[in-house]
Structure 1
Amino acid sequence: MTTALSILLGNYPHTRPLKDGTIPVQGVDCRFGTATPLYPAFARMVRTLDYDVCELALATYFQAREAGVPVTLLPVVMVGNTHHQSLTRLADGPPIAPRDLVGERVGVRAYSQTTGLWVRGILAEDHGVAPSDVTWVTTEEPHVAQYREPANVHRSDRTTVADLLREREVTAAVLGPLALRTQHVELVPVIEDAHAAGQAWLARHGTIPVNHLVVVRDDVLRSAPEAVTAFYRAMCESIAVTAGERDDSPAGRVVAAGWTDELRTALRIAAGYALEQEVVRSPVDVDRIEEETAFLGTAPVSEAGRP
C-alpha cells in the first residue's frame, strides 16, 4: 500500500534527487508543493498545518512547540551558515561598531526570524549588546500566531528591511545571505572582519548555526510512521549522494541528516539565545526533542555538519 505525503521543501542540490524521483521513497507517493519565496509557507504550516512534511525555520519551530502546534522535528538540516556578516549597514553611511547599536533602531524582517535570533545572540555574546538594548523594527508579523513580541519590537509599514535602511529609519539591519543578494542596495557588515569573527565563533562552539530543518505533522506520524521513516531515510540518501555539490564553506558543511553532536550543540545554543531574547518564554528541552524521533531507529547519519 502506498501512502501519499504532501511535502514542501526548498529547491537545493540536496533535495533535487527526491523531487526528480532519482531517489524514490519506498511506499510513499511524494507530492511536492512549491512556494516562492519559501518562508511565507512556514506560517501556513504552523497555523493551518498545510503540509504533511515541511521545511521550517528553527526559531519558528521553537515557538510552534511552545504554542502546542502538533509537529515533530526531524533531524535534517536544510540551511545554515555563520551570521556575523548578516548584521549590515548602508555602505555610504557613517561607520558604526556593534556597541554603537545600544539605544539605536535595527531592522529585521520579523523578530522571530532565525537569522535575527543568531545575530542577537552574537551581539550579546561577543559584544555585550543585549536584545533589550536595541529597538527592533520589523516589516512582518511572526509566523506563529500565538506569539507576542517583546515591548522593544516595533512594526513598520515599510515593505522590506532594505527600505528601512534606505529611508534611514534604522541604523543597521539583519539580512540573511539570500536577502543580501537581492536588496539592490550596497551594504557592508557592521561587525569588523565578519568572516574571521564567524570562523572564531565556529571554533569556539564546535558547530554551525542552523536555520532550517524539517517537521512532520503529528497526526501523520501517528497514522503512517513507516512512510515518515521512509521519507527520512530517502532524505539521508539524497544529502549523501549530493555531498560533492556542496563546498567547504559553513553553508556547505551544515547540511546534514541525523542526530550529531554538532546538531545538538547548535540547537542548545539557539535555544539559550531564544530564551534570553524572549523568542520563547520557557526553556527548550533539546534532549526531549531528540527522544521524540526515536521512531527513526538507526537510520544512517549523512554529512555530520562539520564545524
Structure 2
Amino acid sequence: MGALSLSVALSANPMTAPIHSGLVNPEGIDWTVSAVHPSEMFWRQLKYAEFDISEMSLSSMTIAASQGTRDWVAIPVFTTRRFFHTAVVVRDGAGIDSPADLIGKRVGVPEYQQTAAVWTRGALLHEFGVAPQQLTWFMERPPELSHGGATAFTPPDGVRLSYIPGETNVGEMLRAGELDAAVVYIAHRNLVDRSRSDAGAIAGVRTLFRDPRAEGIRYYSKTGLLPVNHVVVARASLLEKHPWVALNVYSAFLEAKRLATEPALEVLQPWEQLGVLPADVAADIRAADPLPYGIGAQGAVLETLAEYLVEQGLAKRRVDIKDLFAPSTLAL
C-alpha cells in the first residue's frame, strides 16, 4: 500500500521552512505543499476547502464551530504567536497618545473577526478599558473575499462597522487622514488584502505603544498569555477515514520546529566551554520551549480566546476550543 497523497497549504515562516524545503515529511504521507499567505489561505479553506491540511484562523474555526460547522479538525500545532496589541498603529495628528485616546476614533482592520484583531480588542478592553463599541471600524476585506463571508459575519451589536471601498485600503486611508489608527495592518501581497505600503513607510504613522517591547513584557508579566492565532487543521472526513494522520502530521511539525530552533541554541557551546555561561543556565535555555505545541502547554490561552469570541459577539455560544482538536492529540 502506497503513501497517502495529500494537498497542504502553509505560510512561509521559520517554523514551517523545513517542511517547505522537503527536509521533513510525515510517515506514510506524500504531501504536496503550497506556500500561501495566511489571509488568502484561510479564505480559500473556509470558502472552497481546497487543501487537505493547512493552517487555519483559530478564531474563524471556533466561530464556525459555534454555528455547528465541523468540517475541520485541529491538530495542536501553533505556527505563529505574538503580542498582537503591541502592533496597533496610529496617525500623528489624531490625538492618540494612549490606548484610551482610541475612543471615538476611526480604526481600520483587514478583517474584524481575524484572531489577531480578537486578541487586540481583548487587550484593549481588559488592560485599558477601551471597548470595541467605543470605536468606529472600517474593514478592508469585502464579504466575498473575507473569512467572515464563509461564517455569516455581521457586525456585533453596538459595533459601528463600514466596508472600505474597493478603490482604496487601510494604508491609503491612514496616509490621507481618513483613518486614525489600524488595529491590525497587513501589507503583504495576497488575494484578499489590498494595503501595499509598509506601515513604517507611511509618513506620520507610528505604533500606539512607543516601546512595544516594554508593553509586551508588561502584558505577559501580568497575564501570562502568549497569544496564538494560527492552528493546523485537517479535513474532518480525512481523519474519520485515516485517524493516524493526526499524530503523524503532529510529529512532522514537531520535527520541523526542532530543526528551525535547535541550530540557534548550538551557538551557546563555546561560551559553555569557556565557562562564561554556566552549564545549568545553558541547559535551562535548551530545555525552554518558547513556542510550545500541544494543548497542555497553552495554559489559559485557548480558554481566553474562547471567552473573547463570546464577549465580542462573534461566537454564537461558548465553544471549548479543546473540543476542536483530534482526540488522539488531547493528551499532548
TM-score under structure 1 normalisation?
A: 0.85
Q: Secondary structure at the match of 1:257?
A: coil
Percent of aligned pairs with the same residue?
Answer: 26
1:235 and 2:268 equivalent?
Answer: no
Asked if structure 2 preserves the Cα contact closer than 8 Å seen for 1:65 and 1:71, the reply is no
Q: Which of 284, 295, 302 does residue 328 from structure 2 map onto?
A: 295
Which residue is 1:182 aligned to?
A: 198
Compute the displacement of 1:244 (Å): 3.3
1:213 and 2:231 equivalent?
Answer: yes
CA 1:107/1:172 → structure 2, altered by over 3 Å: closer, same or farther?
A: same
The 10-residue stretch of structure 1 (108-117 or 150-159) with the greater mean CA deviation from structure 2: 150-159
Task: Name the larger-Rg structure.
Answer: 2
CA 1:246/1:57 → structure 2, altered by over 3 Å: closer, same or farther?
A: farther
Distance 1:181 1:224 in 2: 44
Compute the displacement of 1:57 (Å): 1.8
Which residue is 2:61 aligned to?
A: 61
Which residue is 1:202 aligned to?
A: 220
Distance 2:302 2:197 in 1: 27
Compute the displacement of 1:296 (Å): 3.4
Q: Which of 303, 308, 322 does residue 268 from structure 1 map onto?
A: 303
Paired positions, count: 291
Gaps of 5+ in 1: 300-307
The one-letter code sitting in structure 1 at the alignment partner of 2:236 is D
The one-letter code sitting in structure 2 at the alignment partner of 1:82 is F
Asked if structure 2 preserves the Cα contact closer than 8 Å seen for 1:138 and 1:156, the reply is yes
Matches within 5 A, 1:99-138: 99-138=100-139
Q: Secondary structure at the match of 1:80?
A: coil
Matches within 5 A, 1:1-307: 1=1, 2-35=3-36, 37-67=37-67, 68-91=69-92, 94-140=95-141, 141=143, 142-144=146-148, 145=150, 146-150=152-156, 151-157=159-165, 159-176=168-185, 182-183=198-199, 184-186=201-203, 187-244=205-262, 255-261=291-297, 263-289=298-324, 292-296=325-329
CA 1:233/1:42 → structure 2, altered by over 3 Å: closer, same or farther?
A: same
The one-letter code sitting in structure 1 at the alignment partner of 2:223 is H
Distance 2:262 2:186 in 1: 21
Asked if structure 2 preserves the Cα contact closer than 8 Å seen for 1:77 and 1:254, the reply is no
Distance 1:137 1:197 in 2: 26
Compute the displacement of 1:91 (Å): 4.3
Q: Secondary structure at the match of 2:295?
A: coil
The one-letter code sitting in structure 2 at the alignment partner of 1:241 is L
Q: Structure 1, residues 33-57: CA drift from partner, whole Å, max 9, x if none?
A: 232x331121111122111111112
Distance 2:103 2:93 in 1: 21
Compute the displacement of 1:225 (Å): 1.6
Q: Structure 1, residues 231-258: CA drift from partner, whole Å, max 9, x if none?
A: 11111111122213679xxxx9653321
The one-letter code sitting in structure 2 at the alignment partner of 1:62 is T
Alpha carbon RMSD of aligned pairs, Å? 2.6
CA 1:19/1:190 → structure 2, altered by over 3 Å: closer, same or farther?
A: closer
Distance 1:45 1:204 in 2: 36
Distance 2:294 2:300 in 1: 13
Q: Secondary structure at the match of 1:162?
A: helix
Distance 2:170 2:264 in 1: 29
Asked if structure 1 preserves the Cα contact closer than 8 Å seen for 2:85 and 2:124, the reply is no
Asked if structure 2 preserves the Cα contact closer than 8 Å seen for 1:83 and 1:176, the reply is no
